[in-house]
Structure 1
Amino acid sequence: EPMSPSRTRLHFQFSGMQDQDIHLLEAQLWLYLRVPRDLVANLTLSVFLAGEEGDLARGNRTLLGERQLSAKGSGWWTFSLMPALQSFFEGEHRTLWLDLESIVDRGNNMAVINANRSHQPFLVAKAKVQELDHHVAKRSLRCSQNSNLCCRKDYYVDFRDIGWNDWIIKPEGYQINYCVGQCPLHVAGSPGMASSFHTAVFNLVKANNIQASGHSCCVPTRRRPLSVLYFDRNSNIVKTDIPDMIVDTCGCS
């Protein structure tokens, strides 16, 4: 006889995306199912979406999908959240609440969420993100064909091209970006283009013919981490955030 549903509540915070237009290309929920050794567990897993915590408490939720699983031993499972999740990003909410319900046949105990940090559920998403015009800072400007001043050059690297696809599971590549362009003194001395106020003052000193040595270079002024899913040396699936992998803005040093 099937057991009564086992319920788990998850939430994911998407900070810093209030002024961005997000178009999802792919979205998968990764869950670690713990099953007693040498046992095959058959279960039905349902995933529901709600914009706020209170909506879940009132039962106001939307079914994203349902999947029949046959799990032999503990391991990771993926659950596609497309295309239903796109509607969430088209709204005003930036905290994603998911309600999981699992029904296991024959009374087998199964934990959807493992207590260990390495086994916590997580989302893997691929999206096109466009900042709204009024939110783009001057130092965030992408390079144009008509300017040779310091700017951010968009560049996508495919992990297959550098031989990393044999150990990195997700993503398949990412927007690495880099900084390029000239930093003449009248530009490098501007607080909006200099990498720091110290740099702005120092470049103004040089621009006014006061004795000082050194040249200004176009360098990254802000970077973001990249979430990576990969196999470690023991063939375990690991999720980690690698800092300073994505160049967001550029300025003159």
Structure 2
Amino acid sequence: MLDLYHAVAGEEEEEEEAVSRPVLTGLSTQSPPPGSVVSHADTVVSLVNMVEQDRDTSSPKPYWKEFRFDLAQVPAGESVTAAEFRIYKARGVSRHSNSTLHVSIYEIAAEHANRESNLFLLDAQQLRAGTEGWLVFDVTAASSHWLVERKYNLGLRLYVETDNGLSVEPGSVGLLGRRGPRSKQPFMVTFFRASASPVRATRAAKAPRRRQPKKSNDLPHPNKLPGIFDDVHAADGRQVCRRHELYVSFQDLGWLDWVIAPQGYSAYYCEGECAFPLDSCMNATNHAILQSLVHLMKPEAVPKACCAPTKLSATSVLYYDSNNNVILKKHRNMVVKSCGCH
């Protein structure tokens, strides 16, 4: 999850230049790089609290292992974009060490007292028995189903077979369960995204040409400025609306006991004059231009336009929830990218 955080945080810096990549990572013996599912998700939840069950040894084969995760902490009002089940495969030593293994993961669709459970195939991987590392399975269909109807969350079932169809006990070929080291225990990662809501973009506006003041009174065009965030002053020496530095420290807020990363971030803020004339470098809205004109005529009745953010971007935070699950959450509208007059 920390690797995902660092990758997503890097992508946020290049958000507008991001290129779509494969949706899911498939089989991987390394921590997989985030694909478009990760970078486009609002929330990534790592579910570690689970119930694990093995086939009763008195029952006939095939061997299997079941996992059931608690989805009580999933975000409300968000939809699943993807979900992955991850289980660690140790190298191990067994009589199947030179075999090719077929590992299948199923959703338990229904359970019955006197017969086998109904299963729905979610994903399957083929690998050499000597493989070591994390195996990643696509369980999006099950996670979506459970989110809509939580009573159907009966868990996942995993089977292992050899090339000739022989059922193999998962632990005997190195698939680690709850008895393995804490850092290598199975878990599920689910990606969520809030439902999109229509957002009306702010339009850049200029006063009609015949109402523009003389050119000598205009502020410099932004292309002629030394830098987009350099100090800019109005004719009377006051600083015009622009972005200023602001660093928010999570340590100062006392949040580092539950926030994993980052330790803080640059939030910025907007401040400055929105005095007439509102030049294009002030990113003024039509309303701000008209408000400024009315303010000139009735300063006691109508205030000046205000300096405020015109563009905001997201910041991702990695933290623990109350159940000790690790959450990677993309918080929108956290960083000021540009300022203007409103």
TM-score category (smaller protein)? 0.3 to 0.5
Flag the structure with higher strand content: 1
TM-score by length of 2: 0.36
Q: Radius of gyration: which is bigger?
A: 2
